[in-house]
Amino acid sequence: MTKSIHLSKSFSSNWRRHVWVRPLLVLVVLASIGWWLRASVEATLQANLRSVLKTTLKAEQSAVQNWIRMQRSQAEAAAGDEQIAAAIRSLVANAKSDSAALELFNLPQSAELRRELAPVLEAQEYNGFVVVEASGRIVASYRSELVGVMLTDAEMRLFREKAFAGQSMVLPPAKSRVVLPDRHGVARSGVPTMFAVAPVLGESGEVIAALGLRIQPEVTFTKILEIARIGDTGETFAFDRSGLMLSNSRYDEQLRGIGLLPEGEDSTLNVSLRDPGVNLTTGAQPKLLRSEQPLTYMATEAAAGRDGENIDGHRDYRGVPVVQAWEWLNDEGFGIATKVDVREANQTLDAISRAIWGLLGLLAVVSLAMLVFMMRADHLAEKARLAEINLKRFGQSTLEEKLGEGGMGVVYRAKHAMLLRPTAVKFFDTAKADDKSIARFEREVQLTSQLNHPNTIAIYDYGRTPEGLFYFAMEYLDGLNLQDLVDRHGPQPEGRVIHILKQVCGSLAEAHSIGLIHRDVKPANILLNVRGGMFDVVKLLDFGLVKVTDNSHEAMVTKAGGIVGTPMYMSPEAYQSPNTVDARTDLYAVGAVGYFLLTGQPPFLGETVLDILMHQVKTQPELPSKRLGKPVSPELEQLLLHCLSKPAADRPKSAHEIIAELNRVPSANSWTESDARHWWRRYFPNLESDSPPETANTAQRSETIVLN
Please report how many Cα atoms fall inside a 13 Å half-sphere around the Cα of residue 319, on the Cβ side: 20
Distance of alpha carbon 98 from alpha carbon 236, whole angstroms: 46
CA dihedral defined by 271, 275, 281, 285, rounded to 10 degrees? -110
As a whole number of angstroms, the distance between CA 337 and CA 249 comes to 12
Helix and strand numbers, DSSP H then E, in the chain? 23, 22
486-491 mean pLDDT: 95
Distances (CA, A) of 518 to 451, 548, 549, 588: 12, 9, 11, 12
Res 40: pLDDT: 81
CB 142 within 8 A of CB 114: yes
pLDDT at 2 exceeding the cut of 70: no
For 31-64, give one letter per residue: b (16+ CB within 10 A) or e.
eeebeeebeeeeeebbeebeebbebbbbbbbebb
Average pLDDT over residues 237-252: 91
Average pLDDT of the segment spanning 74-91 = 93
**Residue 664: C-alpha distances to residues 96, 508, 642 (Å):** 65, 20, 15
Using one digit for the tens of pLDDT, what is the confidence trace for 417-452? Answer: 677 778 888 877 666 666 777 777 777 777 778 888
**pLDDT of 672 above 80:** yes
Higher-scoring residue by pLDDT: 37, 51: 51
Give the model's pLDDT for residue 388: 57
What is d(CA 357, CA 38) in angstroms, rounded to the nearest whole number?
10
DSSP conformational letter for 152: P
pLDDT band per the 50, 70, 90 thresholds, residue 90: very high
Say what the pLDDT of residue 643 is. Answer: 96
User: For the sheet containing 459-464, what is the strand order?
Assistant: 393-394, 397-406, 409-416, 422-429, 469-475, 459-464
Phi first, then psi: give them for residue 304, nearest 5 degrees.
-85, 5
Q: Is the pLDDT of residue 408 over 90?
A: no
Greatest mean pLDDT among 115-129, 475-489, 497-511, 675-689: 497-511
Q: Where are the alpha helices (DSSP H) in 167-241?
A: 220-225
pLDDT for residue 368: 63
216 Cβ partners below 8 Å, 6+ apart?
127, 183, 192, 193, 194
Predicted local confidence at residue 340, as pLDDT: 92
- Is position 350 annotated as part of the catalytic site? no
Higher pLDDT, 365 or 189: 189
Main-chain phi, psi angles of 472, to 5 degrees = -150, 150
Furthest CA-CA distance within the chain: 114
Q: How confident is the model at residue 124 (pLDDT cuts 50, 70, 90)?
A: confident
Determine the average pLDDT of the residues in 624-643: 95
Q: What single letter denotes the amino acid at residue 167?
A: Q
Which of the pair, 469 or 250, is modelled with greater confidence?
Answer: 250
Could you say which of 341, 520, 542, 586 is catalytic?
520
Angle at which helix 655-663 crosses helix 634-643, to 10 degrees, equals 170
How far apart CA 528 and CA 537 sit, in angstroms, is 6
Which residue would you say has higher pLDDT here, 625 or 16?
625
Task: Check the CA dihedral 637-640-644-650 and report its sign.
Answer: positive
CA atoms within a 13 Å half-sphere pointing along the CA-CB vector of 221? 33
The closest of 516, 506, 502, 503 to 448, measured between CA atoms, is 516
The angle subtended at Cα 101 by Cα 96 and Cα 105, nearest 5°, is 90
Non-local CB neighbours of 535 within 8 Å, separated by 6+ positions: 673, 676, 677, 679, 680
Mean predicted lDDT score pLDDT of the chain: 82
Q: Which is more confident, 40 or 584?
A: 584
Give the ranges where 579-703 is alpha helix by DSSP (H). Answer: 583-599, 609-618, 624-628, 634-643, 655-663, 673-683, 695-701
> What are the two backbone dihedrals, phi and then psi, of residue 44, each rounded to the nearest 5 degrees?
-65, -45
Domains defined for the chain, CATH in brackets: 229-345 (3.30.450), 435-447+476-707 (1.10.510.10)
Predicted local distance difference test score (pLDDT) of residue 666: 95
- Report CA dihedral (446, 450, 455, 458) to the nearest 10 degrees: 50
Question: What pLDDT digit, counting tens, does each position of 596-607 carry?
Answer: 999 999 999 998
Contact 121, 195 (CB under 8 A): no
